[in-house]
Structure formats: C-alpha cells, structure tokens
Structure 1
Amino acid sequence: MRTMRRPRAVSLDDRLEALAEAVELAEGRLDPAAVARARAVVDRAGVRRGLSVDHTVVALAGATGSGKSSLFNALSGTSLSPVGVTRPTTSTAQAAMWDPEGSAGLLDWLEVPRRHEVESGPDALSGLVLLDLPDHDSIELAHRLEVDRLVAVVDLLVWVLDPQKYADAAVHERYLRRLSRHQDVMVIVLNQADRLSPAAADRCLSDLRRLLEEDGLSRVPVLATSVTTRAGVDELRTTLAKRVADRRSWSARLAADVGAAADVLANAGGADTTSPEAREVLALPDGPRVKDAGELSKELTGQVRPLTAALAEAAGVPVVVAAVAKAHRHRAVTATGWPVTRWVRRLRPDPLRRLRLGGPTGQTPALTSIPRADIVQRSRMDLAIRDTGAAASAGLAEPWATAVRHSARSHADELADRLDRAVATTTAGAGRRPRWWRVAGVLQWLLFAAMVAGALWLAGLFFVDYLRLPEVPTPTVGDLPLPTTILAGAALAGLLVALLCRVAAAIGARRRARKTRRALTTAIEAVAHDLVLTPAQEELSRAHRFDTLLATARG
C-alpha cells in the first residue's frame, strides 16, 4: 500500500515571485485592470514586508449604527472615537497603538494621521494597531473610498455587524463575498447582541453563518458582542491577542491577496477559478488547463506541410524550379553544343539570370525578379497561416487563443521579403557548371578543328586542281578521300556529341530541379518556423508558463 503525502505548501516568497512573473507574461494580453490589480498586490507586498512585521494592523469595519466605534473604545479602554446612532461620526480612520515603537512607518504607509497610544496591559496586545474605519455605507463618497482603500491593505479585518443590517447586501456583495480568499484574516462580530433575546441571538447567529457560507466564508470565526453588557468583548480581545502574538497575520493577508490577484488574472485569462476545496468536492481534475510544450509541438507539426506548401507557392518556387531546369539545359547547350550553331543559343535570355537568381554562392541580389504572388496565392497563404493559428490555439481559453492566433500572423508583413531572400540564397550556385561540360566543350572544339582542317585540305586540293598543277597524292579511306572523311566525320561526330549532351543535360536538369525543389522547400519551411510556427509556439509556451505560475501563486 502506497502512502499518500500531502503536497508541500508553497511559500509566500515563491507565490509572490510566481505572481510577479505571471503579471509580466499577462502584460498586453489580458485585461489591463486585472493586470494592474495583480501588479499592485506585488508592489504592496514588497512594501509591507519592508515595514514592521512585529505589528499587526487590525481594522474595525462596519455600517452606520453598528456600534463599531463603541467597540473600538471598549477594546482600547478609551473614549477616543465619538459614538453616534444613525449618522456616521467617524470621517477618517484613527489608530490606537499598543507598543507604538516602530509603527510610525507602517501608519505613514497606511496614511492614518490620527494616532493614539494605548498602555499595554496584561492582555498581550503589545504590537496591535487597531483602526476605526469610517462607515462603509456612509453617504459621503470620501468615507466609502477610505474604507475601500484600507480594507485592501490592513493585516486583519474585523467586520462589525448589527442585528438589523447583518444581512445587508451592501456588505455581503461589495465586501464579504469578494474576500472569500481572506478567511484566515477576518473575524465577523455580531454586535449589539444585548438587543436580542438569547433564542433570537442564536437564530441570528445561525442565519449569519448561513449567509457567510454562501459568501464562501465558512471558516471565518463569528462572535457575538455587546459593549453595553461587555458580553463577547473579552473573547474578541483574546482572539486579537492570539493573532497579534502569532505575528503572521500580515503574511496571511499577503498570501490571501496573492491568491485573490491570481484568481483575477486566471479569470481574465479564461481559466477555471474554482477553489481547491470546491474542486475536491466536485471531483474536478487538477493541473493546468494548457497542454505541455511537447503536446503543443506535435499539434503544430501537422501544420508544417500545408503551411510550407502555401508559402512555397506564394514565393514562386514552381517558377524558380522550372527556371533552374531551363537554365541548366540552356547553359548546357551553350557549353557543349556544336560550335557552328551554339552562338544562336547565346542570343536567348538565361532563365535564371532573368529572375536575378543562380549567381555565385555567397552572392545574392538584394531583390529578385520573381513574379509577385497573385491574389489567389496570397489568399492561400493567409488561409494557411490562419489555419495554423487556429490549430495552435485549439482548446485554449480566450484571450490566450487570440494572442496565439495573433502571434501566428505577427510577422506576415515580413514574409514576402524573407521568402524572397530564402529563394535567392538557396538558388545561389544553382547555375554551377558540371565538369563534364568542359570536357564535352573541348571535344567539340577538337572536332570542329578537325572539320576545319578537312575543309581546308579539300580547299587546297581544289585550288591545285583549278590551277592545273600536278595532282597531289591524297590518302583515302575506302573510296572516300581522307579530307572528305575527316570533314564529314567531324561534322557528324560534333552533331552526335551535341545530341548526347542535350540528352544528358535534360536528365541533369530534372535532377537539379528536384534538388533545388527540396532545398527550397527546406528553406521555406525554415521561414515558416521562424515567422509563423515559432511565434505561435512561444505564445503557447507563454500561456502554459502563465498557467503554471498561476497555479503556484494560488497556492
């Protein structure tokens, strides 16, 4: 039987580092608001860790009339905060500090100007910074903005509710439901419990726990307090004392912020934001939603051939291959043809030179004369690129699928020039002359020289006979004079050699065309990889890395 081990918890440093990298990867791809929120969490975490970690900032937040300020006074043993019933009396946050040494920088960062020192007693509250926040439902916009700002940064949140408005949608929908990641840094207080009978208080607490469970806050401790009767106040002080003595609320808050920011990024990236607990209950599979790089490469491999074929057609590869074959035959005739007629071939244009191709190896023109792709060829190329992007992004959630498709088309403007350079570079040296051409050319000139010698010999014999000079003895080959034999034989041999060379040139032209086609296909495929497949693969890897980082950041 194999023992199942619980996965090792990810450290806060690792989660912050993962979130920071995920933010960089998401830049320009996901919702800017989500990226900015995650970046703010990373920046805020860096600042908070540099401030006092021996102090725990606890904020009392609540609605108008919830008794929040009264509870603040009861916990601090002072009358620092004015108490009202129906109108908000707290306009700006104020702090009560136990052991204030070293907390100034922290409060400066929190922008809390009103600060009061409280003598530390035997209740182990040394290191506590207690904030009394304005009412979150205040009619003053500035009050609500101040609450929002401090709720986002304090170490521990104590939500003070009252029996009349504990189910108010304003607190549940605007705050509590959005803080489901922050259960470990929250305490819920049902204040003014003295206004209820014991049975009514129990029913109220039960209903409050039900609402909190619907908000995703089933683990948050819920306390009933009454400042008037002091019921529950000491229990709340004890709870705060434990949190302060633990000295880990600040890191738990940062961890919750990182998880929440990662959830926002995941939601912006179309990922499943279901919590680990819910995944376990629903029996959902774990792991990233994006396939690994090996699987992605296999999917893209299937797009190489159709993409390369479309790019090759747009680059004029069929035209170039045909020109290579024609140029080979053309140059073979000018090099090995019968000297009497080969000059006629020189009057014809060279097919490769007309396209500004086939120069010496290492020397490529800045721009070839290959006909530009027509509208049909461009449409096929664009369709092949879109198909590649669609295949690469299959199964991805938006907007990563959009980013992958865009990356596949991101270098479309460069394709024409790169394809042209690839063709020019690959065909450099395609006009190289085989060595046998030189041998055949020398043989043709020797045969031509023999033919000329035979013709001159016959001309001399004709001249002697014309002048009635004594007959010159002339060797014969059978019944034919030797000069006639040489003349006719050299001419026939020259024509035969030219014919054989043409046959050999045709075979060589087909072989060179096939070799050129393979080389051009390889070069075009390299361009396809550089400008289409590689950008898509990089974006896919980026999406996979982003998903892996989010899994780490979410803990």
Structure 2
Amino acid sequence: MKLLRRKEGPSLDTRVTALLEAATLGEGRLPEEPVAEARAVAERAGARSGLSLDHTVAALAGATGSGKSSLYNALAGHDLATVGVTRPTTSTAQAALWDGDGAGPLLDWLEVPQRHSAAPDQELGGLVLLDLPDHDSIRLSHRLEVDRLVELVDLLVWVVDPQKYADAALHERYLRPLAGHRDVMLVVLNQVDRLPPAAAERCVRDLRRLLEQDGLAGVPVLPVSARTGAGLPELRGLLGERVAARRSWSARLAADVTAAATRLDGRAEPVASSSNGRPEPAASSSNGRPEPAASSSIGRAEPVASSSNGQAGPVALPKGVGQGLTAALARAAGVPLVVEAVAKGHRHRAVVATGWPVTRWVRRFRPDPLRRLRLGAAVTAGRRGRPELEAAGRGEVVGRTSVPAASAVQQAQVETAIRDVGESAANGLPAPWGQAVRQAARSHAAELTDAVDRAVATTSLDATRRPRWWGAVNALQWLAFATLLAGALWLGALFGMDYLRLPQPPLPTAGPVPWPTVLLVGGAVAGVLLALLSRLLAWLGGRRRARRTGKALRAAIAEVSGELVLEPVREELDRHRRFTEALSLARADG
C-alpha cells in the first residue's frame, strides 16, 4: 500500500524569484505602484533571509493609551519603556532581546538603535520584541515609523484596549489591508482588569467578530492585563511557540509575496488602497499556511517553469487573424495592378524576344508595363553599368517603386485591419495587457508602407526572368529570317542578271517552284507562324506567371505583416504568458 503525500509547493526562494520576474515582465505595462511594491518585497525578502534566522522580531503596535509600553515592560521583566500619562509617550521604537547574540545586524537593518536585554527566559529565547510608537500619534514621524516597521517585522502583536478596539483607523489602515498576514498576527485585548469578567468576554467576542469582517478569522485574540498579569502566561506561551517554530519570518515574507503578486495580477478583484497606501487584497487571497524556512538565500531559486512540462511553445494567435491585414496591405500596395502588369509585361517581352525580326522592332517603342512601375530593372541589370540596376540584378531594391500610392480609403482599411489584429489578440486579456498588445500591433505601422513596397519590388523581380524557350524561338526566328534573306538575295541576283542580259545559271527547283522562291516564301511564312505561336504561348505564360506572382506577392506581404505586426503581438502575448506563469508561481502556497 502506497502512502499518499501532499505535494510540496514551491520554496520561498522560488516564489520571490517568480515575483521579481513578474514585476520585470509587467514593467511598462502595469501601473508603477504595484510593480515598485513587488520589487521592494523581493528586495526585502532577500535582505531578511540573509540576516539571523534564529531570531523572531515581534512588534507591539497599537493606539495611544492601549498600554503597549506597560505590556512591553511586563513581558521583558524590566521597566524598559517609559509609561506615563502624557501622550504620546513612546517616540522611537526600542527592542528587548532574549538571547540577543547575532541579532545586531538584524536590528541594524530594522534601524532600531535602542536595545535592551530582557529577563532571562528559555521559553522566549531568540525573541526580539519591539515597542512601537502609537499608530494614531499626533506626530507624523511616529506614524511613519510605525508604517515602516509594520512592513518589516516577522510577527505583529496588535495591542488594543476595551475603549478603542473598534477604532476605524486601526481596522481600515492596518488590519483589513493585512488580511493575508493572519499567520503572523496576534491581537491582545489589554486592560481587561478594568472590566467585569462578563463584559471582558463580550469585548473579546465582539473583537473576533470585527476581525472576521476584516478577513482575519482565526487570528488569536488574547485578553490580557499588563497591570495584574492576567493572561500574560498565555501570551508568553504563544510567543514562545512562534519563536520556537522559527517560521514567522518566512511566513511573513510569504504573505508579503502573495499580497504583492495579488496587486500585480490585473485579473484579480479590484484592490482597494487604504489611507496609508497599503493594498487591500480581496478576502479570498490569503496564505493559509506558514511558509517553511528557506535553506538558501533569496535569488538562488530554480528558474520559473514556463509550462506544465517545462517546455514553452510559441504563443499561437487566433486562426486567420492576419488574413484581413494581408488582404488590406495587398490592395494598398497595388498588387492587382502589379499582377496585371506582370501579365502584360510578359507578353510584351515575349513579342520583343520571339516576334518576327522584320516587325519586332516596332514593339520596342511601346513601354514595358513592369518597367513603368520600376519593377523590371532586373531585365537590364548589368547591361548599362548603372549601379541601381546592378543592385536590382542582385535582388537588392534601390528606392521606391512607381506603384501608385494607396488611397485614403485603402490606408483606412489597413489601419482598421491592424486594429482588428490587436483587438482579436487582446480579447480576454486584462486591460493593461490588452492595451500593450494593441500598442504592439501598431508599433511598426509607420514602417509598413516602405517594407511592403520593398517586398513587392523584390518579389516582382522574378516576374522578369526570361523563359528558356524564348531563346530557342528567337534562334528559329533568325534562322527563318536568314532563310528569307537568302531567298531574297538569290532572287535579286537572278533579277539583276536578267536585267543585264547575262546568261542564266542553272536554277534548282523544288518540284515546279524554284528554290529561291521557296526560301523567300518559306522563311516569311515560318517567321509569321512562329510569331503567332509565340504570342499564344506568351499569353498563356503571362496568365500563369501573373497568378504565380500574385501568390508570391501575397506571401511576401504576409511575411512583412507577420514580422512588423503579428510578431510584436506574439511577443507581447508570450510576455503576458510568462508573466501569468510567474505570478501563479509567486502566489502558490508552500
């Protein structure tokens, strides 16, 4: 029988690394505040994990008159903090240490200069207890000090009194925004000696009710009297358990990572900000278990897995997302005009190359349709020594073609197609990432026109290649013309001899027809027939080449649109995928 084991979640190191990666990927796409917070949490986690892990820093925080300093002295066993009537009494944080060897760098990082040795107590060995200023102090510097240390300490002990335990400032500024930190939080109802036992019990029940409304159900609530000592053994025992576990620091950092990841997640429930700028995560986002202590420093974690099997494939765009854009770019680039020019240009050059030599020179006076669009430079490349033509012969495009510029309607169609690509790809994404995808689709819009024009010019060079049969037909044409010329010269010679009354030489015949006549008429008929047959083949070849060129042009334009529009969109979608995976890993329970 196999024993089923709960699959362990990612380590704290891994989660912090994932949070930092998510913040890096979200930079420039998400608001600056959550990104900066995520980086600060990662930096804070790295700093805390490099300091003493044998000490647990607990902070006594509360409002004016709640008795923090009295409780601090009672736990320390000495009168370390001044207790007085004038408020506020505590102006700066001070620390009481049980077995404080090695805690110096940790307190330096916390910037707590006042340090005291507490009464020896093996149960609290390793505890560093801070007495914080009042969180509702009339002095701003006191409130800022509380806010700073509340973000850094390992364990938060909120001290309230029967009169102010329901204070809105405490619940709205601190407790509710820290709902995800229930595992590193205690609430102490101090001064219960002022109430009858039944009234104290009612206060405890009401305080638990308020904590449940804040999302802090299950947080220990201890009734204590620092003056009489009631409840102090229970508080001391609970602190001793947390210190002995040596997990408060990692649980605190894990909760910080979860809260920062929740703020980064654009798909999460709206995050409300409290008056001190802290996020208020949704009630469902909480880390229900303490994070096990990490064995290595933050930042040495394994890389974030990009998929379930560790292999991240390319992000696929919705099917057919680029077809409309390719069609719009093809119309704007004048592809129909170029295709028609390819067919006409093929027939024109075929006539020049294979027509009857007697009349083909007339065709040279007609312009080549491709040459008029500056798409036929390769035909004469290298013949005239012109650099631009030689570059065209090497497949390089110099300058723009003469294809008519896109009309306003065609430009609007291209812009609409680009917008449709962005909208289609951004469908279902959170607003910040959807905007980033749409912006990526438009990021190279200014380069599209020239890039498509170069693609049309380069692809159209293949349309000027001479078929091999042109050379063979041209040779036959010149042979027929030579035959015609030979017959004409022979007959001319005979005519001259007859005119000069010279004796006629023997005249060979082909049947009843003399050979000079056969050569003259046969050469002419053969040339005309070859020219007519070549025109028919040129017409068929022009149609075939036009179809092939149109297909190649659309493929080239699709490649350009893929490079300048679809690829940036795909990269942005891939960035969002990696962001989501990193965020999911950062929010995973340990």
**Aligned: 1:349 with 2:349:** no
Q: Supply the distance in 1 between the matched residues of 2:449 and 2:15 (Cα, whole angstroms).
A: 45
Aligned-partner residue type, residue 16 of structure 1: V
SS state of the match for residue 153, structure 2? coil
Confirm or deny: 8 A CA contact 2:352 2:363 kept in the other structure. Answer: yes
**Which residue matches 1:182?**
181
Tell me what 2:485 maps to: 452
Taking the aligned partners of 1:85 and 1:326, their CA distance within structure 2 comes to 103
| Percent identical residues | 61
- Kept after mapping to 2: 8 A contact 1:269/1:400: no
Q: Is the 8 A contact 1:31 1:268 kept in 2?
A: no
Structure 2 match to 1:115: 115
Provide the C-alpha distance between the structure 1 equivalents of 2:8 and 2:338, rounded to a whole number of angstroms. 61
* Cα shift at 1:4: 8.8
8 A contact 1:184–1:220 mirrored in 2: yes
Tell me whether 96-105 or 262-271 shows the greater mean CA deviation: 262-271
Q: Name the amino acid aligned to 1:336.
A: T
Is 1:316 the counterpart of 2:348? The answer is no
- Whichever residue aligns with residue 396 of structure 2, its letter is T
1:285 maps to what in 2? Answer: none
Which residue in 1 is equivalent to 2:64?
64
Question: What one-letter code is carried by the residue in structure 2 that aligns with 1:242?
Answer: E
User: Which of the residues 396, 403, 417 maps onto 1:364?
Assistant: 396
**Structure 1 residue 544: Cα displacement:** 2.2
Whole-Å Cα distance in 1 between the matches of residues 33 and 350 of structure 2? 69
- Specify the code of the residue in structure 1 equivalent to 2:359: T
Letter in 2 for 1:366: V
1:172 and 1:508, CA in 2 relative to 1: closer, same or farther beyond 3 A?
Answer: same
SS state at 2:474 partner? helix
Tell me the amino acid that sits aligned with residue 74 of structure 1.
A
Post-superposition shift, 1:222? 0.5
How big is each residue's C-alpha offset from its partner over 1:427-477, in whole Å with a ceiling of 9 and x where there is no partner?
A: 333211111101100111111111111211222222122222234443445
Residue correspondence of structure 1 range 332-481 to structure 2 within 5 A: 332-358=350-376, 359=378, 362-369=394-401, 370-477=403-510, 480-481=513-514
Corresponding residue number in structure 2 for 1:327: 345
Residue 155 of structure 1 contacts residue 253 of structure 1 at CA under 8 Å; is this kept in 2? yes
1:325, 1:510 within 8 Å by CA — same for their partners in 2? yes
Residue 408 of structure 1 and its aligned partner are, at CA, apart by 1.4
TM-score, normalising length from structure 1?
Answer: 0.92
Please say which of residues 370-379 and 91-100 is displaced more in the overlay. 370-379
- For residues 3 and 57 of structure 2, the distance between their equivalents in structure 1, rounded to whole angstroms, comes to 42
| Deviations 1:267-289, CA, capped at 9 Å, x for gaps | 48778975658999xxxxxxx9x
Structure 1 residues 382 and 5, CA, compared in 2 at 3 Å: closer, same or farther?
farther
Distance in 1 of aligned mates of 2:375 and 2:270 = 51
> Which amino acid in structure 2 is aligned with residue 239 of structure 1?
L
Equivalent position of 2:246 in the other structure? 247
Read off the aligned partner of 2:324 and give its amino acid letter: P
8 Å CA contact 2:77–2:119 kept in 1: the answer is no
Partner of 1:303: 321
Q: Which moved more, 1:408-417 or 1:238-247?
A: 408-417
Whole-Å separation in 1 of the counterparts to 2:285 and 2:168: 25
Aligned to 1:524: 557
1:38 aligned residue:
38
Q: 1:293 to 1:381 in 2, by over 3 A?
A: farther
C-alpha deviation, 1:212, in angstroms: 0.4
Correspondence for 2:299? none
CA distance in 2 between partners of 1:271 and 1:524 (Å): 43
Contact 1:355 1:368 (C-alpha < 8 Å) held by counterparts: no
CA distance in 1, matches of 2:8, 2:17: 17
State the distance in 2 between where 1:293 and 1:310 align.
33
> Structure 1 residue 315: deviation in Å?
2.6
Counterpart in the other structure of 1:283: none
1:105 aligned residue: 105
Assess if the C-alpha contact under 8 Å between 2:266 and 2:430 holds in 1.
no
Which residue does 2:296 correspond to in 1? none
Letter in structure 2 aligned against 1:156? L
Q: 1:545 is aligned with what amino acid? A: R
Report how many aligned residue pairs link the two structures: 542
Cα distance in 2 for partners of 1:422, 1:480 equals 59
Once structures 1 and 2 are overlaid, which stretch shifts more, 403-412 or 471-480?
A: 471-480
Match of 1:53 in 2: 53
For 2:578, the equivalent position in structure 1 comes to 545
Q: Is the 8 A contact 1:59 1:158 kept in 2?
A: yes
Secondary structure at 1:429 match in 2: helix
Q: Which moved more, 1:173-182 or 1:533-542?
A: 533-542
How far the C-alpha of 1:482 sits from its partner, in A, is 3.2
**Kept in 1: contact 2:262–2:285 (CA 8 A):** no
Shift of 1:5: 7.1
Matches within 5 A, 1:159-178: 159-178=158-177
C-alpha change, 1:271 and 1:191, in structure 2 (3 Å) is: closer
TM-score, with length taken from structure 2? 0.87
Matched-pair contact (CA < 8 Å) for 1:356–1:365:
no
Provide, for residues 293-314 of structure 1, a one-character-per-residue CA deviation record: whole Å limited to 9, x for no partner: 88962x5222122121112222
Indicate how the Cα distance of structure 1 residues 277 and 142 shifts in structure 2: closer, same or farther if over 3 A, else same: closer
Q: Residues of 2 paired with 1:269 and 1:202: CA distance?
A: 38
What residue in structure 1 maps to residue 304 of structure 2? Answer: none
Q: Is the 8 A contact 1:62 1:159 kept in 2?
A: yes
Alpha-carbon distance between aligned partners in 2 of 1:277 and 1:172, rounded to the nearest angstrom: 18
Structure 1: runs of 5+ lacking an equivalent: 281-287
Give how far 1:373 is off: 2.3
Give 1:401's aligned amino acid.
Answer: G
**Alignment-derived partner of residue 130 in structure 1:** 129
Structure 2: runs of 5 or more not aligned: 272-280, 289-306, 379-391
In the other structure, the counterpart of 2:219 is 220
- Structure 2: distance between partners of 1:529 and 1:86: 72
Deviation string, structure 1 residues 314-369 (Cα, Å, up to 9, x no partner): 23322222222222111111110111111122223333333333526642223331
Counterpart Cα distance in 2 of 1:552 and 1:4:
23
Q: Aligned with 1:430: secondary structure? A: helix
Distance 2:209 2:78 in 1: 34
Aligned mates of 1:451, 1:407 — CA distance in 2 = 68
Larger CA deviation: 153-162 vs 486-495: 486-495
In structure 2, distance between residues paired with 1:54 and 1:6: 27
Q: Where does residue 284 of structure 1 map in the other structure?
A: none
Which string of whole-angstrom CA distances, capped at 9 and with x for unpartnered residues, describes residues 140-191 of structure 1? 1111111100000100000001111111110000000000110010000111
Q: Which amino acid aligns with 1:461?
A: L
Point out the more displaced range, 366-375 or 457-466.
366-375
Q: After superposition, what is the alpha-carbon deviation per residue over 1:121-154, rounded to whole angstroms, capped at 9, x for unaligned?
A: 24x2121111111100011111111110000010
**Paired residues for 1:228-307 under 5 Å:** 228-267=227-266, 297=316, 299-307=317-325
Return the letter of the residue paired with 2:13.
D
- 1:120: how far off? 2.2
Change (3 A) 1:323 1:35: same
Output the CA distance in 1 between the equivalents of 2:224 and 2:10: 37
CA distance in 1 between partners of 2:155 and 2:483 (Å) = 110
- Show the counterpart of 1:82: 82
